Amino acid sequence: MIKAVLFDLDGTFADTAPDLAAALNQVLSEEGKPTLPFEIIRPVVSHGGIALIKLGFKFSEQHIEFERLRLRLLEIYENNINTLTTVFDGIETLLETLEAKQIAWGIVTNKPGWLTDPLMEQMGYSSRAATIVSGDTTEERKPHPEPLFYACREIDILPAECLYVGDAERDIIAGNAAGMVTLTALFGYIEPNDTPENWGANAMINHPKDIEKYL
């Protein structure tokens, strides 16, 4: 029996791509580079600031300007973290259903806590979540299962009693390694060359409402 539902944050619980895309395009504009269409940026968002700078500037992490640009991107994003971001359609209704059934829910993300915590607070979900595990909460990050084990300890449930939903292969690897039921969120930030059908999730879903079928 499922006693808790855990969500990845970017691309599963919240549609953060508009704010992250705006931040990247602002950095590009400041550097005199052409901005990128949203549909090009969106699939890359789940992979964080490093991937976004690589996408926008087409150079590696070893480039002398890379870290300056990454930090500038994060500065802009931090200052506009909840300007265009919303939870995905159906998430709020799902949370109300979970809460009515006394099924705990929480967030397990690789996003660092200094970004996760203010975003969850500004969206109004901090006090409702049973656990919020960020990329720096534990020594390991996904695809390692430790963040998911940590969430289970906070909620006081067994991993086998938990459902984990994510939109990246590392989410499914982590959830499977933890012994959880795993769902791939196809409505999230799936890149064109991704093969989610090969990630090994228990199922793939097209909308948050589909999660109710697995409770």
10 is catalytic: yes
Residues 6 or more apart whose Cβ sits within 8 Å of residue 121: none
Write the burial class of residue 168 (CB in 10 Å: 0-12 exposed, 13-18 middle, 19+ buried): buried
CB 35 within 8 A of CB 180: no
Q: Residue type at 100? A: A
From 8, 19, 167, 171, active-site residue:
8
Q: Is 171 a catalytic residue?
A: no
Residue with tokens 């994060």: 74
Residue 180's contacts (CB-CB under 8 Å, 6 or more residues apart) are 6, 148, 159, 160, 162, 163, 164
Q: Please check whether residue 116 is in contact with residue 9, taking contact to mean a CB–CB distance below 8 angstroms.
A: yes
Backbone angles phi, psi at 6, to 5 degrees: -110, 140
Positions marked active-site: 8, 10
